[in-house]
Amino acid sequence: MSLYLKSTSTGTTITLNVPIRPYKTIWKMNVDISRASDGSYLFFDNGASLDKKSCECTFILNHTQALSLSTFLRTYRAETFIMTMDSKEGFYPFTPLYGNQGPFPVSCEILKTPGALADPWLWYRFDLRFTYANYTPLTSPVLPSLPSFWNAEGQLNFFITSREEAIGLAAPENLFEATPEIARSVTFDEQIDPYYVDRGNTADQAVTNMKLKMNYSNTYYLMSQLTGTYGRTATQSFIVPHNYFLFGEYYGDNQTINVKLIQDTIELTHNEYNVFSTDLTWWKD
């Protein structure tokens, strides 16, 4: 189970064990999200080409590999590396969209090196952050083939525009944390009597948070939708089944609900084999 880092200046390559799970991918979309005076959300997309993708991961290395990594990072300071993995390693540093082989042009930042461990005895822990670099390798990353689409995990259906079909997501771990924001339209004002001013139900807003766990297939299509041509600032659709109150009891269940993602950063954790998780916050469009 090997990962390779190669210097772009000399071609020097080191071999490491792949990182342990869980590890986290942070995908920061170059999207501006602001709030209007009526509580609604406004969006501007600066373009996917300027998105920033990074992976925070932990390596557990024996003494030889630890010394090799330390020497390598001190020798090739602030340099772009080419990262590759043996096929089928199961390490997806930049989500399943980019596959698990590479080559990936990356910069590397040391987050923490606690030193020698007691368990496993005299092995070493390195917490690193790899950031996808603005560098074109000689060969493009080996992208995965499209995974099986019909791999439903539950009844919460999320529409995938490129397929004109929906993926079946499992119920979120928190089911839903719905926050209908009536307070945005009924405000407190000490200067008048009575103290509350109603700005009208057109100023009411509703927001919900989901803690999702997904398999590889659903993770691939969800990330493809949210970060690609049909996502980002675009309206998305959930087909909500009976007893799934996506935005609380007032907005109901058993219907199609249009939403927009109100976060510019998606953090995706690869917890264990074929299990990914993320938190997403939606605004009812």
pLDDT of residue 250: 82
Residues 7 and 127 in one domain: yes
Query: Residue 197: which residues within 8 A CB-CB, separation 6 or more?
Result: 186, 187, 189
pLDDT of residue 193: 57
Higher pLDDT, 203 or 102: 102
Residues 170 and 113 in one domain: no
Q: And the tokens for 67?
A: 């010394």
Q: Where are the alpha helices (DSSP H) in the chain?
A: 63-75, 216-227
Residues 96 and 173 in one domain: no
Give the predicted TM-score (pTM) of the model: 0.89
Whichever domain contains 127, its CATH number is 2.40.30
Q: SS3 for 216?
A: helix
Residues 89 and 165 in one domain: no
Given a cut of 60, whether residue 271 has pLDDT beyond it is yes
Within a domain: residue 265? Answer: yes
Residues 71 and 174 in one domain: no
pLDDT tens track for 15-33: 999 999 999 999 999 999 9
Question: What pLDDT band is residue 85 in, cutting at 50, 70 and 90?
Answer: very high
Given a cut of 90, whether residue 94 has pLDDT beyond it is yes
The DSSP call for residue 261 is: E
Within a domain: residue 272? Answer: yes
Cα gap 30→50, rounded to integer Å: 6
pLDDT of residue 184: 54
Within a domain: residue 137? Answer: no
Residues 160 and 113 in one domain: no
Question: What pLDDT band is residue 200 in, cutting at 50, 70 and 90?
Answer: low
Within a domain: residue 151? Answer: no
Q: Considering the chain, what is the average pLDDT of its residues?
A: 87
**CB neighbour class for 154 (10 Å; exposed up to 12, middle 13-18, buried from 19):** middle
Within a domain: residue 39? Answer: yes
Residues 77 and 165 in one domain: no
Question: What pLDDT band is residue 192 in, cutting at 50, 70 and 90?
Answer: low
Cα gap 171→142, rounded to integer Å: 32
Question: What pLDDT band is residue 123 in, cutting at 50, 70 and 90?
Answer: very high
Within a domain: residue 143? Answer: no
Given a cut of 90, whether residue 49 has pLDDT beyond it is no
Q: What is the DSSP string of 80-115?
A: -EEEEE-TT----TT-GGG-SS--EEEEEEEEEEEE
Residues 246 and 213 in one domain: yes
Task: Give the β-pairing of 104-116 and 81-85.
Answer: antiparallel
Where among 97, 132, 167 does a domain terminate?
132
pLDDT of residue 15: 95
Dihedral sign (CA 236, 240, 245, 250):
positive
- Report the number of distinct structural domains present in the chain: 2
Where among 98, 132, 166 does a domain terminate?
132
Residues 102 and 181 in one domain: no
Residue 219 is part of which domain span?
156-284
Residues 119 and 165 in one domain: no
pLDDT of residue 6: 96
Phi, psi angles (nearest 5°) of residue 57? -145, 165
pLDDT tens track for 105-122: 999 999 998 888 888 898
pLDDT of residue 182: 55
Residues 173 and 257 in one domain: yes
Per-residue pLDDT, averaged over 157-170, amounts to 89
User: How far does Cα 14 stand from its chain's mean position?
Assistant: 28
> Cβ distance 263 to 243 under 8 Å?
no
Q: And the tokens for 161?
A: 């525009």
Higher pLDDT, 164 or 58: 58
pLDDT tens track for 213-258: 999 999 999 999 999 988 899 999 999 999 888 888 888 889 999 9
Given a cut of 90, whether residue 64 has pLDDT beyond it is yes
Within a domain: residue 64? Answer: yes
pLDDT of residue 149: 63
Residues 171 and 265 in one domain: yes
> Cβ distance 279 to 209 under 8 Å?
yes
pLDDT of residue 152: 81
Higher pLDDT, 143 or 71: 71
The answer to which of 85-89, 161-165, 167-171, 218-222 has the lowest mean pLDDT is 85-89
Q: And the tokens for 63?
A: 């003494």
pLDDT of residue 234: 94
